[in-house]
Structure formats: structure tokens, C-alpha cells
Amino acid sequence: MFLPSLVLREEFRRSASLPQGTLYIASKGGTVRGLEFTATVGDVVSETLESSIKVVDGKTRRGDHRSSVVGVASIVNPRGAVSLHSLTVLRGCRSGTYVVIGEEDLLTTSLAWVLSQGTVAYGQPGVGVVSVEVDKVRLAKFIKVLKPAIIHITPGRA
């Protein structure tokens, strides 16, 4: 299967891993709790914070996480990319959990693209949670560091 995608260019990977919004720092060894967002991206963030839209891939840095999650839809999205499939599925999202086949790390971008307003939260590994206001100008600047690609997905692996 071939999947049209936008891929993060290698020279921008380090800067993209820095918090892109407001950072909420977790207590040592703990998790951030008690916050509410329009959408969350990531397994731990989606499990511990309130949001109407949750995007998970069943994995965390700690290993597999809730591998039997049932979602309202599946999204195919390769590592380090934003697939056209993610934009298509999320364009009609209202609420519920969306399970990613592949990796969800850059799907904050897809959500920011399809939501007209609100906040999207994602996990900052080992630190806490980042909250990003939906902002089309900020999003356009980020999209400029992506490059178009057609990614080959081997069935059973994303």
C-alpha cells in the first residue's frame, strides 16, 4: 500500500521535539491530571486528561499500552509523517477515540488542521503535557518544514 504523506525533514526533527505550546510539568514520576482539552494525542495523555477527541496508537515509551483499545475509527499514519489518510479521517471527527496504525506523534498537526477552534494536548516524554491552541498561522509555519512523500506501507506494519 502506498500512502501520500507529509514527512518531517531530518533537519527539523530536533526542533519539532521541543514543546510547541504551553508546557505543564508533571510532578516527579507522576502524570499531569485535572486539565481539559478539545483533543488529546498520545496514549497516556488521552487516558489521564479529559477531551472529546482522543488519538492513540497503543504504544508509549514504556512499551505497549492498552493494545486492545477499540476506537470509532482507525487511522493509518507512518512514523515521522502526517498522512493524507489522517487528515481525511479526522476531518469528520466529532468525539471518541481514534486508533492509529503506525505512529500518532505528529497528528497534533492533523487535528489543528481540521478543528476550527480549541486546544490540542500531547505528551512531552519525561516532562509533562503540551497544550497547543488551534492557530492556522502557527500551523502553516510548521507545515512549511514538511516535505511531500509517497510512503510504502507493508501490510501488518506501519
How far CA 46 is from CA of 2, 35, 68, 99, in Å, comes to 29, 11, 15, 11
Measured at the CA of 22, the angle between CA 47 and CA 63, to 5 degrees, comes to: 35
Strand 2-8's sheet: what is its strand order?
A: 81-83, 2-8, 146-152
State pLDDT tens for residues 53-82. 999 998 877 566 555 567 889 999 999 999
CA angle 41–103–60, rounded 5-degree value: 70
Mean pLDDT by 10 residues, the chain (158 residues): 87 85 87 94 94 92 60 92 94 92 93 92 92 90 85 67
Which pLDDT score, from 0 to 100, does residue 37 have?
Answer: 97
> Would you kindly state where each structural domain of the chain is located, as residue ranges?
2-152
How far apart (Å, rounded) are the C-alpha atoms in residues 150 and 64?
A: 28
